[in-house]
Chains A and B, each alone.
Chain A
Amino acid sequence: MGLAKRISLLFKTKANAALDKREDPRQTLDYSYTKQLELLQQVRRGVADVATSRKRLEVQMGQLQTSADKLDGQARAALQAGREDLAREALTRKSGLQGQLQELKAQHTQLDAEEAKLTQAAQRLQAKVESFRTRKETIKATYSAAEAQTRINEAFSGISEEMGDVGLAMQRAEDKTAAMQARAGALDELLASGALDDPTRPRDDIQAQLDAIGADSQVELELAKLKGELPAGQGGAGDAQRQIEGTGEQAK
């Protein structure tokens, strides 16, 4: 097991170098315990950071999905109004959004896995730190240099290996989260600029055209209704003109 042996030696070398720095091993134990608690805090913050990033992704995915659904509805409305060109435009934009959505989903899966790993790492570290604390107190209580040294070495190597492992896991989670946040920021800017159809904007050009079609047919409907309401024989343009002029004179 050449590779695995080499990596384990790396961990041991680091641990031994740290132990050698102090003359009294008991000091090392206390100092290391403080470091362990700090790392545990960092890991918990790391878990929270990853969760925040994941939630932000979820919000963005929701926004994109709403936009895609809206464009889908617009395509249908456009087709019903006989505007195939408008429907095509809406569907083209929708497929662009769906591409973005796919990428976000993939990223979400990654982040989810990272969060689970880090949560487990935090739990493992907590158990080990607790175990270290107990052992540290026992060693200190029964301390006699010769006897304690081996036990201290063992406990210290065990915990520092765990810390090194967790440290690496944190580093990787941070790298992934940073990459994801850069992407989320870029997407936010795109949404803000309106380049991606943003559902929070009150109207877009496709909707404006659809509304215009709707408004035209509404005008026709009301016109027809009004015409129907007029008494027979009074529908002439002359009557209407006189009525309007009459109103104007009263106003003077």
Chain B
Amino acid sequence: MIVRIMGEGQVRLDDSALERLQPLDDALEAAIESGDDERFRAALVELLGAVRAEGSPLAGDELLPSDLVLPDADAHVDDVRALLGDEGLIPDPS
């Protein structure tokens, strides 16, 4: 499983690690729904910390799409909501 932390790069995660991270992700989703930036940030920082600890960084020349993409630790809850909105913040790649 390949996970990207936006602004940081990609890591490889074992499927077993993914199960351990699931509760942290649930907390993050709930925080986004609430729109509370403080709560969102706390959940995000915890999840990112766990992903960094469990994952091993992908080599610079490995070119693989990610199965999961996580916002960077500085992202505001409004940024992420906008990202998930209809328009999306991700620039067109071509």
Contacts and interface: CB of A to CB of B under 8 A. Distances in A.
B65 A12 contact: yes
Contacts of A12: 65
Interface in B30-86: 32, 60-71, 74, 80, 83-84
Interface residues of B, number: 36
Contact of A161 (B22, B28, B65): B65
B60 A159 contact: no
Contacts of B21: 1
How many A residues are at the interface, by size bracket?
35 or more
B93 A32 contact: yes
Interface stretch (A53-61, A89-97, A122-130, A199-207): A122-130
Contacts, number: 117
Given A6-B84, A160-B94, A132 B63 contact: yes
B65 A15 contact: yes
Q: Tell me which of A3, A35, A120, A154 has the highest count of chain B C-beta atoms within 10 A of its own C-beta.
A: A3
Contacts of A167: 90-91
Given A132-B63, A159-B63, A169 B7 contact: yes
A8 B94 CA distance: 17
Interface of A: 1-8, 10-12, 14-15, 18, 21, 28, 31-32, 35, 117, 120-121, 123-124, 127-128, 130-132, 135, 154-155, 157-161, 163-165, 167-169, 171-172
